[in-house]
Amino acid sequence: MSETAQQDSVRPWRLADWFVRHGRMLVIGLPMLWLGIFFLAPFFVVFKISVSELAIARPPYLPLTSWEDGKLILTLNLGNFQYLIEDSLYVSSYLTSIRIAFFSTIFALLLGYPMAYVIARSTGHRRNILLMLVMLPFWTSFLLRVYAWIGILKANGVINNFLMWTGVIDSPIVMMQTDFATYVGIVYTYLPFMILPLYANLAKLDTTLLEASSDLGARPLTTFLTITLPLSIPGIVAGSMLVFIPAIGEFVVPTLLGGPDTLMIGRVLWSEFFNNRDWPVASAVAMAMLVLLVLPVMWLRRAQSQQEAG
């Protein structure tokens, strides 16, 4: 090969080299940029508001920095957080949120696990139809579906009418504006988020493991408890996270279906923002919730990755 030909062939290779070296950065960089703009930046805005002071202004809080006598003064008002602890309303609504989210997750798991199991065990056409049925509700607006539940649960709704007609009850059962209705709404709404990761996990399960277990003398229940269940833990964790985390901050369901005493943190946040126009406290509520959620999730992820490694 001649000298010039070799030099010519260098140029296009340089570009390729650049991609090889920086392609990784490019691929990772785009989502990072996205997260930076749409997650991290708003996060800092909320954080800033949470440590600022309430003011009757527009926006309704004071700036963090001020200029006095040639000094730049940074005022961090931690009073909003202190207020969260002092006023029992916040603590109790956090606890209510966690309780409702926790039990909703348990119910969704108990309902979703058998459903995911059946879908994973069925084949071909049947499996597709069942998966479709799980995802079908997403084609209707979430708000509409929650309203539909009002029609089902209210005093002269579908359930009460049916029970009265059959003569099981004389007067309607009060279901609307109770914790029960909140649970129904949340479990109903988030069930697909439990089923899909569980299904993805259970569908991967190697059925010869179940045969091996049976072959070694395990009855079906023992096989489930010693093989299927432990191997599906990643699916259980993923599904539970996808239900638990949004359920804690859920606003629509407790507002529409829950009673006045179902104080979940999402509702408190809303009324702080829009009824009291107390943005700093509302932001403090949001920050506290984030910390409350992120810490256990991070701990779980760490435990999971350690388990996978070991």
Partner 1 sequence: MTSKPSPAQDNPWQSDNVKPFIRIRNVTKKFGPVAAVDDVSLDIYKGELFCLLGGSGSGKSTLLRMLAGFEEPTAGSIEIDGQDMAHVPAYERPTNMMFQSYALFPHMSVERNVAYGLHRDNVAKGEIRQRVADMLELVQLSGYGRRKPNQLSGGQRQRVALARALIKRPKLLLLDEPLGALDKKLREETQFELVTIQETLGVTFIVVTHDQEEAMTLSTRIGVMNNGKIEQVGEPREIYEFPGNRFVADFIGSVNMFEGIVTETEADFVRIRSKDADCDIYVSHGVGCAPNQKLWYALRPEKMEISRERPDQKENFFEGIVEDIAYMGNQSAYRIRLKSGMVVRLTRTNRDRGEETPITWEETVFVSWGPSAGVVLIA
Cβ nearer to partner 1, comparing 62 with 218: 218
**CB proximity list for 121: less than 8 A, separation 6 or greater:** 202
Cβ nearer to partner 1, comparing 68 with 308: 308
Minimum CB separation of residue 109 from partner 1 in Å reads 19
CA distances (Å), origin 62, targets 41, 65, 277: 19, 9, 13
Minimum CB separation of residue 227 from partner 1 in Å reads 6
Take residue 288 and report the two structure tokens written for it. 């506290």
Q: Does 41 bind partner 1 (CB under 8 A)?
A: no
Q: Which amino acid is at 236?
A: I
Minimum CB separation of residue 226 from partner 1 in Å reads 8
Contact 48, 64 (CB under 8 A): yes
C-alpha radius of gyration, the chain, whole number:
27
**Interatomic CA distance for residues 240 and 242, integer angstroms:** 5
**Omega before residue 246 within 30° of 0, cis:** no
Binding to partner 1 (CB under 8 A) within 252-281 occurs at: none
Q: What is the 3-state secondary structure (H, E, C) of 132-157?
A: HHHHHHHHCCHHHHHHHHHHHHCCCC
Binder of partner 1 out of 30, 211, 277, 298 (CB under 8 A): 211
Binding to partner 1 (CB under 8 A) within 215-254 occurs at: 215-219, 222, 226-227, 230-231
* Contact string 158-197 vs partner 1 (x = CB under 8 A): ----------------------------------------
Cβ nearer to partner 1, comparing 159 with 231: 231
Minimum CB separation of residue 221 from partner 1 in Å reads 11
φ, ψ dihedrals at 12, nearest 5°: -60, -30
Stretch near partner 1 under the rule CB under 8 A, chosen from 88-96, 126-134, 177-185, 206-214: 206-214
**Interatomic CA distance for residues 51 and 61, integer angstroms:** 10
Stretch near partner 1 under the rule CB under 8 A, chosen from 8-16, 161-169, 180-188, 203-211: 203-211
Cβ nearer to partner 1, comparing 178 with 214: 214
Minimum CB separation of residue 132 from partner 1 in Å reads 26
Q: Does 212 bind partner 1 (CB under 8 A)?
A: yes
Q: Does 124 bind partner 1 (CB under 8 A)?
A: no
Dihedral of CA atoms 196, 305, 34, 239 in degrees, nearest 10, equals: 20
How many other C-beta atoms lie within 10 A of the C-beta of residue 123? Answer: 7
Binding to partner 1 (CB under 8 A) within 91-120 occurs at: none
Minimum CB separation of residue 212 from partner 1 in Å reads 4
- Judged by CB under 8 A, how many residues of this single chain contact partner 1? 17
Cβ nearer to partner 1, comparing 222 with 276: 222
Contact 71, 298 (CB under 8 A): no
**23 φψ region: left (φ > 0), alpha (ψ -120 to 50), beta (else):** alpha
Question: Interface residues with partner 1 (CB under 8 A)?
Answer: 206, 208-209, 211-219, 222, 226-227, 230-231
